[in-house]
Structures are given as structure tokens and as C-alpha cells.
Amino acid sequence: MTKVLGIGNALVDLLIQIEDDKLLDDLKLPKGSMQLVDARTKDHIAKKSAGLNTSMASGGSAANTIHGLARLGTETAFIGTVGKDEVGDFFVSDLEKSNIKPLLNISSSPSGLASTLISKDSERTFGTYLGAAIELSASHLYDEQFKGHDYLHIEGYLLQNHDLIGKALKLAKANGLTVSLDMASYNVVEDNLEFLKGMVAQYVDVLFANEEEAKAFTGLEPEEALEKISEIVDIAIVKVGKEGSIIKSGDEKLKIGIIDTTVADTTGAGDLYAAGFLHGLAQNKDFEYCGKLGSLLAGTVIKNIGAKISGEDWDIIKKKIQDF
């Protein structure tokens, strides 16, 4: 069976449904972005959002993808760092319940918490306190973690740590893994552009980007960005919101539409799209199947608040897969 290893920031999402985007201005969080915050700002967000509708779920971009893969039946493991606290225990428990092998470092620092502010139009804005998650370093990675896996899925949010991501990619290639990268956020791409370009060209096989990330990476609109990205990776995927996604590999190019659904919260849509796509690849399916499965998962997760799909919806998904 194909095995997928994920590496990323081990975070727990605090999901906050906001009444007015003015709160984002008050908190100095640009709508739709991911901003790193310190402990003081994390506490300030909690104070300003007191009384709003909130919930908690394990998160982090790569971890969300790994959870989706595990629910589809792919064997998975996850590398990250959590603290010795209630938030960290919550994260570990969620991995184990989903049959994901935890390859975690345990820190004395507080666990990472991503305050996810969800606007009325379903757009989400992150104020992310990395806490223990940021302590994951190149020294925590070693050969045995990668052996026996077929894919490495890595989140773009790790780009700030060049040594970490560089060692992960070298170990992946030394052990014959196919490397999948999700760019994660346009501002992270902008801040690490030259490093990212070199890394992608040298190591990445499958690249996921939304239209903003693709533009930050290439300076081009989605169709042209896809062409440019496909010149340096084996499989390029650009997600274009309500227009679905476009996929290119070599001379093969296709468009995949979205499923008809209502949108409550777009948190996790890209992560779950990647889960569906990678599961299809792991099953040696064609790109149309991979894209349709990605769209099905993305379209399902946005029906509810948070980056997790309910057990009932997973049952529906598995029935629909039989029709592909």
C-alpha cells in the first residue's frame, strides 16, 4: 500500500465566526491572509472575540491533508512538534483516532494555536501563534522517518525555516519519495520567493497553488501561471475558486469543476483538495479522477465550519467515489 508522510506545523484551530470584518481591521489582520502572531496578540484575539461563536479542531495545512488521506484509506504518518499541554494532547489524540502514525516532538513550550476568523462571506483569516510548532527543526529529521513512505506532502507555511524544509526535501529524495508541496498562502510565497523557486525546481514533483499564490509565484494569471509552473514540476495544479481547478502535466491539461454546494467556511478547502488528489495519485488513477476527488472533498468540507469532514459526509463521499 502507498504510504504518505506529512510534515508541517502541528496546530489546533480556534474557529471564530465573526460578525463584522471591522474586527479584522481592529486586529490588524488583512482579510484572507495568514499572519504570524505572538502570545500577546493570540490572547488579544481571544479577548476581542469573546462572546462570538467558537469551536476547536486540530489543524495545520499538511495535517489537514494527512487527515483527509487517512479517512480515504491511505496509510499516513505526520511529523510536527506540540507542547505538553491540553492543546497538544488534543492534537495527538486526533491523529491517533484517525489512524495516523504520530512522529511528534514534544516541547515544553505551549502548543501552536491558529485563530481562524471566519467572515460572513466564508473567507477566513488566520492569526497564527506557532508556539511549539515552530520548534520543529532540521535536527529533528532523520532517515528512518522517511523510509518506507512513497510520498512526502509538505506545507508552504514551513518556508520560513529554510534549513528544515531543505533537509526534509533532501531526505525525501534520498529515500525515493515523490514530493508534493502546497504553497499555503500568497504572503508566505512573496516573502520567500527566491528560495521557493529554487526549491521547487530542484525537488518538487507535485505543486498545489490557488490563484493568488500562483500569481505571487509567477506574476501571472491562473492559466499562464499553470503553464509556467508546469515547466518545472511534473504535475501542476492551480485552484481557481468557483471556477474549480486546472491541472497540467507534460502535454496533458484539463479543467475540473466544483461540486454544487452551500458555503459556510472555506477553511481546509485547499488542504482537502490536496488529500483527494494525492489519494487518487496513490491509487494510480488518472488526473480527471484525482481532480474530481479533490473537488468532492473540498466541496464537502466547506459546507460546515472548520477543516474537518463529518463521519456522515465521509460515508456519502465513499459512495460517490464508486461513480467516478
- CA atoms of 292 and 256, how far apart (whole Å): 6
Beta partners for residue 14, in sequence order: 56, 115
**End-to-end alpha-carbon separation of the chain, Å?**
21
Half-sphere exposure of 303 (CA within 13 A, CB side): 15
Q: Give the pLDDT score at 155.
A: 96
- Say which amino acid occupies 253: K
Reading the chain (324 residues) residue by residue, the pLDDT tens digits are 899 999 999 999 888 999 999 999 999 999 988 888 999 999 999 899 889 998 888 888 999 999 999 999 999 999 999 999 999 999 999 999 999 999 999 999 999 999 999 999 988 898 999 999 999 999 999 999 999 999 999 999 999 899 999 999 999 999 999 999 999 888 899 999 999 999 999 999 999 999 999 999 999 999 999 999 999 999 999 999 889 999 999 999 999 999 888 888 787 899 999 999 999 999 999 999 999 999 999 999 998 877 889 889 999 999 999 887
SS3 266: coil
- CA atoms of 124 and 5, how far apart (whole Å): 27
Beta strands 151-155 and 112-118, pairing class = unpaired
- CA atoms of 186 and 209, how far apart (whole Å): 9
Query: For helices 269-282 and 61-72, what crossing angle results, to 10°?
Result: 50
- What is the number of other CB atoms lying within 10 angstroms of the CB of residue 104? 19
CATH code for the domain defined by 3-8+59-111+131-321: 3.40.1190.20
Between the CA atoms of 296, 300, 306 and 312, what dihedral angle is there, to the nearest 10 degrees? -120
pTM: 0.90
Distances (CA, A) of 147 to 77, 168, 173: 12, 12, 11
- CA atoms of 55 and 143, how far apart (whole Å): 37
- CA atoms of 20 and 260, how far apart (whole Å): 27
**Cβ distance 103 to 79 under 8 Å?**
yes
**Cβ distance 267 to 116 under 8 Å?**
yes
- What is the number of other CB atoms lying within 10 angstroms of the CB of residue 142? 10
Q: Give the pLDDT score at 9.
A: 92
**Cβ distance 38 to 186 under 8 Å?**
no
Domain boundaries, the chain: 3-8+59-111+131-321
- Say which amino acid occupies 73: G
Half-sphere exposure of 208 (CA within 13 A, CB side): 29
Q: Give the pLDDT score at 148.
A: 96
Beta strands 3-7 and 75-83, pairing class = parallel
Distances (CA, A) of 33 to 127, 128, 157, 273: 9, 10, 12, 19
Q: Give the pLDDT score at 123.
A: 87
Q: Give the pLDDT score at 305.
A: 78
- CA atoms of 104 and 125, how far apart (whole Å): 27
- CA atoms of 87 and 91, how far apart (whole Å): 6
- CA atoms of 126 and 267, how far apart (whole Å): 10
Q: Give the pLDDT score at 59.
A: 85
- CA atoms of 220 and 299, how far apart (whole Å): 26
Q: Give the pLDDT score at 122.
A: 85
Q: Give the pLDDT score at 306.
A: 78
Rounded to the nearest 5 degrees, what angle is found at the Cα of 177, between the Cα atoms of 176 and 181? 145
